[in-house]
Amino acid sequence: MINVALLQMTSCKTQKENLLKGIEYCRRAKAMDADIALFPEMWSCGYNLKDDAEFVKAQAVDADGEFVGAFKSLAAELNMAIAVTFLECYEPAPKNSVILFDRHGNKILHYSKVHTCDFGDEKHLTPGDNFYVADLDTAAGNIKIGAMICYDREHPESARILMLKGAEIILVPNACPMEINRLSQLRARAYENMLGIATANYAYPQPDCNGHSSAFDGIAYREDLPVSRDTMIIEAGENEGIYIAAFPIEKMRRYCLNEVHGNAYRRPHLYSELISEHISEPFIRDDRRR
């Protein structure tokens, strides 16, 4: 099993308090035998954004600074991978980022949210420009890890690209109400790509959040079951806590060898419209980033 600890928390008033709380939760996750600890979206500032570009810039931290660096050291100390999220200093505007440190304290993945919510305060952020997959060394063996952040989940291309790059588990930091439709999106991403999805959300009563961190293993069919199964392996309630998502990685790999989804029968030569930049009604939006 690969154990991903979903750190479902509410944020504090200051960055320093968030740092100390994050360290405490990582230590608790290690005591629960976690291989990876996953934070909710933009933990450094508790996803505290306003429609004010200067305010947003003032909340940002450096990717090589004290806040992020504390989790680099902690990962090595605990012998546990940590996916820490933060509002990253960047010019001309900050990024919504996650860095994954392996259990030796090495930075193996640095991803910034590609699909920023430009219809809201994230219009003051710089979008990421690619999706990445990294080889993660865990005590249970090596695994290929990717990441997408919150609204990325609503674009099937995000998970599809990560699958094509070899991802076996996708980490999803989140900050929004997780209800039936958003959970269904995650379930679909896991099913259609035959991979694991682990999502950490803020707990209630964080503004506009309700907990329900979740994980899906992507295994829809098993030889010992006469019908398909729900791929959800855990769904948290609303309260703060650490929720362990146990991914049966060898079973997931065997499933990929035999099932029909993922990249088995795609016909990419027919998909040219997927990379067209043309947009027509009813999808034209004045606030879309050009």
pLDDT band at 180 (very low <50, low <70, confident <90, very high): very high
pLDDT (tens digit, 9 = 90+) per residue, 269-283?
999 999 999 999 999
> In this predicted structure, what is the pLDDT of residue 278?
92
Among 128, 200, 123, which Cα is nearest to 169's? 200
- Which pTM value belongs to this model? 0.96
Task: Write a three-state SS string for 41-107.
Answer: CCCCCCCCCCCCHHHHHHHCECCCCHHHHHHHHHHHHHCCEEEEEEEECCCCCCEEEEEEECCCCCE
- For 223-262, the pLDDT digits (tens) are 888 788 999 999 999 999 999 999 999 999 999 999 999 9
How much is the average pLDDT of 40-55? Answer: 95
Mean pLDDT of the chain: 96
What are the tens digits of pLDDT across the range 93-111? 999 999 999 999 999 999 9
pLDDT score for 111: 98
Q: Mention every residue, 6+ apart, whose C-beta is less than 8 A from residue 282.
A: none
Distance separating alpha carbons of residues 288 and 237, to the nearest angstrom: 34
Closest CA to 143 of 21, 28, 1, 18: 1
Contact between 239 and 252 (Cβ < 8 Å): no
Hey, which CATH number is domain 2-265, 3.30.420.40, 3.40.50.300, 3.40.50.170, 3.60.110.10?
3.60.110.10
Across the range 67-78, mean pLDDT stands at: 98
- Mean pLDDT for 175-198 is 97
Q: Identify the pLDDT of residue 154.
A: 95
Q: For the chain, which residues make up each domain, given as ranges?
A: 2-265
Residue 52 has pLDDT above 90, yes or no: yes
Confidence at 187, pLDDT banded by 50, 70, 90: very high
Q: Which residues contact 40 (CB under 8 A, 6 or more apart)?
A: 7, 8, 9, 47, 85, 173, 174, 175, 200, 201, 202, 209, 213
User: In terms of pLDDT, which residue wins out, 285 or 243?
Assistant: 243
